A and B are shown apart, each in its own frame.
Chain A
Amino acid sequence: MKRLGIAEALREGIRQEMARDERVFCIGEDIAIPGGWGGAFTVTLGLEKDFPDRMLNTPIAENGFMGIACGAAMMGLRPIADVQYSDFLFCAMDQVCNNVAKMRYMSGGKAKVPMVIRAPVGVTGRGSQHAQNMETFFMPLQGVRIACPATAYDALGILRTAVRSDDPIMIFEHKLLYGSKGARAESGAFDASSDIPDEDYTVPIGKAVVRKEGKDITIIGTLLMMHRALQAAEQLEKQGISAEVIDPRWLVPFDLETVRKSVRKTGAVMTVEESAKQGGIGAEIVATIVEEMSDDLKAPPIRLAAPNTVVPFAPPMEKFYIPQVEDIVDAAKKLLN
C-alpha cells in the first residue's frame, strides 16, 4: 500500500503495463525528453530511462500521431497516445472520430484498435483554448469508451483496464487533480491522492461508484465536479439534507443501474459539469433518467453546468463560469423545495 497522486499513479500504471506487455508503447509530444517534464503534467516523467525504445516523442502533429497510433494498434501493438491539453484533440478529430472509432465497425468486426488516448481537461486560468472539458465533444461518438478518473485509485485501475482492453478507450484526466509537482504544479490544485493497494486491481468498464451515501438527493458528477459535489454534500448535511454523490467514472458506457438504485431512494437528481450546459453531459444523463425513471422522480432534475459561453480568462469571469460548491448547494436546495 502506498499513497500516490493521480500523475504518480498513472506513471506507475504505465510503467507496470509496459513492463508486463512489450506491445505497449507511449506516443505524444514532450513525453520523454531528458531534462523535460514527462508530458505537460509529469505523467510520463522519467519513463524513457526504463523504456528507451517505447517512449516516442513526436513532432507537434496530433492528427498524424493519433492516426499512426491507430495504425500500429491495428497491427497488434497497444499504444498509449496523449495530447498535452484535451483541446488539442480538435486537431486530431479526424483520426479519432473517423478511424480510431470506426475501424472495427467498418471492417465488420475484423479489425481491433486496442488503443488508449489520454487527455487533460479543466478550466485553469489559461483562457479559451486550453480549458475545454473535451469529454463532452465525444459523447455522441460511437466506437470509443470514455473514462473520467477522479481519484488516483481509479486513475491507475482505469489505466490498466484501458491498456488491456482490445477496444479504444479515452481517459480524460483533470489538471487540478493530477497532483503534479515542481515547476508543473498547478495553482488551485485539489488533492485526489489515494492509498494504492499493492495488488494488480482494475476498475471495470462502465462501473460507477457511490462516493457518499444519502437519501434526499442524488448528485452526479465526474472529475473536479465530483469533488465539489462531495464538498457540497458535506455542507448540505449540516443543513439537514442528505445527499448521495455518484461518480460515474465512465461516461461511455454509463452505469444507469447505480443511478437507478439511487434515484429510487432519493427521487431527486442533479448533474454537475464543468462545461457549457448546451448539449452537455448533463443533457444526456438527465434525458436518460427522465426516459427511464420518470416514475421515481419527485421533482424535475436539474443540470448544473457552466453557462452557455466560451471559457473566459479573467479570474472573476472564470469563477462565474465554473460551478462552485455554493452553486451545487443552492441548486440542491432549490430542487428539493
Chain B
Amino acid sequence: MSDNKYSLEFLLEMYRKMVLIRQFEDRVKFLFLEGIMPGTIHQCQGQEASAVGVCMALNEDDVITSTHRPHGHAIAKGVSIQSMMDELFGKITGCCKGKGGSMHIGDLDKGMIPAVAIVGGNIPLATGAALAFKMRKEKRVAVSFMGDGATNEGAFHEAVNMGAIWNLPVLYVVENNLYGASTPVGMVVRTKNISDRAAIYDIPGVTVDGNDPIAVYEAAQEAVARARRGEGPTLLELMTYRITGHSRRDPALYQPKDEKQRAKENEPIGRFRKYLVGNDLTSADVLDKIDAEIEEEIEKVVVQAQKAADPKPEDALEDMFVESI
C-alpha cells in the first residue's frame, strides 16, 4: 500500500464501502439463519476489497456482471442496499421486483446486469457488453467478476478468447478464494496462477493481493485504462478468501483450521483499519463512527424491507416479454 497518493476522503470511502458490504452480509446471514429471510444465500465476507477496489476504478456508466455471490459487487457498483434487501426478502420493491432473489441481484440503471447463478454464464455477457461499447465507439468498459472455479468452464475460455481477438474493453476479474464450492483450486487447476491462463489468449494476466483494496484499485485502474484505450482485455486474478460458508449453513469443514485462522487475520477490513490508523491517516474513532453509522443505516433498511409489500401471486406472470400481444 502506497502512502499519501490518495486523499483521506478517498480512503475513507473505500473503507466505508467495504464495511457496508461486510455489515450487509453479516446482517443477511443472521436474518437467514433465524429463518426470517427466505431462499438461499452465497456471501462474500472476506472478499470485500476486490468488489470495492475494482468498482472504484469504474465510471457509473461502466457495466459489471456477477455470479451466485453477487451482494458485494452490487453494493460496490452502487445498487441501493434498500432495493437489495427488499429483493432478498422477495418484496415487490426489490431491485428485481422479487423475481430474482439473492443469486440474481442487479440493477441495469446502476450498470449491473442481473447476476447469473450458472457458473461461468456471466463471462460471455460482459464480453458482449464490451462488444456493444466497441461497436458504438463508446468509451465504456465491462467487467466480469467470477470465481476461480468458473475459469474451468468452457464459457470462460470461449469468452476470453473472443474478448482477446476482438480487443474488447473488458476486464476478467477472478476472485480466487481458493475454493470452488468445497473443491480446493489446486485440485482442479494445474497452473500456479489462474492469471497464467491469460498468456494462451495473448492478453495481460496479473495476480494481485485481493485483500488489499488499494492494490486491487491500482491493478483495476491500469486494466480499465488499457481497455478504454482500445487495447483489449486483462485477466485480473485477486487472491482472497471467503471467511464464511459457501452457502446457507455450510460449516466449511473442508477448509483446514489453520488456513481459516490465517485468513481471518488477513481479512481486508481489519487490515485496512490497521493501515489507516497505523499510518496516522485517521483515528480508530473516526472508523468506529463510520461503522456505527452503517449499522444504523442497515437497521433502517431491514425494518423498511420487512414492511415492504409482497408481490401478488399473479405477478409471476408479468415481465416475460417487452411487448404484450
Contacts and interface: CB of A to CB of B under 8 A. Distances in A.
A14 B312 CA distance: 44
Contact of A60 (B92, B153, B312, B313): B153
Interface in A117-160: 125-130
B135 interface: no
B149 interface: yes
A150 to B, nearest CB: 24
Question: What class of interface size applies to chain B in its complex with A?
Answer: 35 or more
Contacts of B322: none
A314 interface: yes
Interface in B66-93: 90-92
A312 B103 contact: no
B316 A309 contact: yes
Contacts of A128: 99-100, 104
A61 to B, nearest CB: 5
B116 interface: yes
Interface residues of A, number: 39
A319 interface: yes
Interface string B90-122: 111010101111111000000000001111100
A59 B185 CA distance: 9
Interface stretch (A27-35, A164-172, A254-262): A27-35
A34 B254 contact: yes
Contact of B320 (A35, A57, A310): A310
Contact of B313 (A64, A91, A127, A317): A317
A305 B96 CA distance: 25
B183 A317 contact: no
Interface in A282-310: 307, 309-310
Contacts of A315: 38, 90, 310
Interface stretch (B123-131, B210-218, B243-251, B279-287): B243-251
Given A183-B251, A317-B311, A129 B316 contact: no
A125 B314 CA distance: 17
Given A127-B104, A313-B101, A317-B311, A35 B188 contact: no
A129 B150 CA distance: 16
A127 B188 contact: no
B315 interface: yes
A312 B120 contact: no
A127 B102 contact: yes
A61 B154 contact: yes
Nearest to B189: A59
Nearest to B310: A316
Nearest to A34: B254
A61 B152 contact: yes
A30 B39 CA distance: 22
A90 B39 contact: no
A105 interface: no
Interface in A170-221: 183
Contacts, number: 139
A319 B188 CA distance: 39
Interface string B149-187: 110111100000000000000000000000011111001
A71 to B, nearest CB: 16
Contacts of B188: 57-60
Nearest to B317: A309
Nearest to B154: A63
A36 to B, nearest CB: 4
A312 B99 contact: yes
B1 interface: no
A37 interface: yes
B316 A35 contact: no
Nearest to B117: A129
A219 B246 CA distance: 40
A289 to B, nearest CB: 28
A316 B153 contact: no
Interface string B278-314: 0000000000000000000000000000000011111
Contacts of A33: 182-184, 254
A317 B180 contact: no
Contacts of A125: 38-40, 101
A325 to B, nearest CB: 16
Interface of A: 29-30, 33-37, 57-64, 87-88, 90-91, 125-130, 183, 307, 309-310, 312-321
Given A30-B181, A125-B40, A312-B315, 7 more contacts: A59-B149, A60-B180, A61-B152, A91-B118, A129-B118, A317-B99, A317-B315
11 contacts: A33-B254, A35-B254, A59-B183, A91-B153, A312-B315, A313-B98, A313-B100, A314-B98, A314-B310, A315-B90, A316-B310
Interface of B: 38-40, 90-92, 94, 96, 98-104, 116-120, 149-150, 152-155, 180-184, 187-189, 245, 248-255, 310-317, 320
Instruction: Please give me the 4 A-B residue pairs with the lowest Cβ-Cβ distance, nearest first.
Output: A314-B90, A313-B101, A314-B98, A320-B313
